[in-house]
Amino acid sequence: SQQGEEDPQALSIQEGENATMNCSYKTSINNLQWYRQNSGRGLVHLILIRSNEREKHSGRLRVTLDTSKKSSSLLITASRAADTASYFCATDANDYKLSFGAGTTVTVRA
Amino acid sequence: NAGVTQTPKFQVLKTGQSMTLQCAQDMNHEYMSWYRQDPGMGLRLIHYSVGAGITDQGEVPNGYNVSRSTTEDFPLRLLSAAPSQTSVYFCASSYSIAGANNEQFFGPGTRLTVL
Q: pLDDT tens digits for B65-83?
A: 999 999 999 999 999 999 9
- Span B84-97, average pLDDT: 92
Q: What is the pLDDT of residue A78?
A: 98
Question: Is any Cβ of chain A less than 8 angstroms from the Cβ of B27?
Answer: no
Q: Is A1 on the interface with B (CB under 8 A)?
A: yes
State the pairing for strand pair A104-109/A10-14.
parallel
Residue B100 pLDDT exceeds 80: no
Which of B79, B82, B81, B104 has its CA nearest to residue B93? Answer: B104
Query: What's the rounded Cα separation, in Å, for the pair A92 and A3?
Result: 9
pLDDT of residue B83: 97
- For residue A102, give the nearest of B31, B42, B106 by CB distance: B42
Is residue B39 less than 8 Å (CB to CB) from chain A? no
CA gap B63, B80 in Å, rounded: 7
Average pLDDT over residues B60-69: 97
Which residues on chain B are in Cβ contact (under 8 Å) with A24?
Answer: none
Using 50, 70 and 90 to split pLDDT, how confident is the model at B95? confident
Range of weakest confidence among A92-96, B96-100, B111-115: B96-100
Cα distances (angstroms) measured from residue B49 to each of A25, A74, B34, B71, B99: 24, 30, 9, 10, 9
Mean pLDDT of B73-94: 97
Burial of B95 (0-12, 13-18, 19+ CB in 10 A): middle
For B28-56, the pLDDT digits (tens) are: 999 999 999 998 778 999 999 999 999 99
Identify the closest residue of chain B to A92 by CA–CA distance: B100
Report the pLDDT value the prediction gives residue B46, as an integer from 0 to 100: 96
Find chain A residues with C-beta within 8 A of B108's C-beta: 41-42
Given A1, A92, A103, which is nearest B100 (Cβ)? Answer: A92
CB A83 within 8 A of CB A19: yes
Does B41 sit within 8 Å of A43, measured CB to CB?
A: no
* Residues of chain A positioned with their CB less than 8 A from the CB of B100: 30-31, 90, 92-98
Question: Which of the residues in chain A have pLDDT under 50?
Answer: 1
| Banded model confidence at residue B1, pLDDT cuts 50, 70, 90 | confident
Q: In whole angstroms, give the CA distance from residue B92 to residue B32.
A: 6
Mean pLDDT score of chain B: 93
Statement: residue B99 has pLDDT above 70: no
* pLDDT for position B40: 76
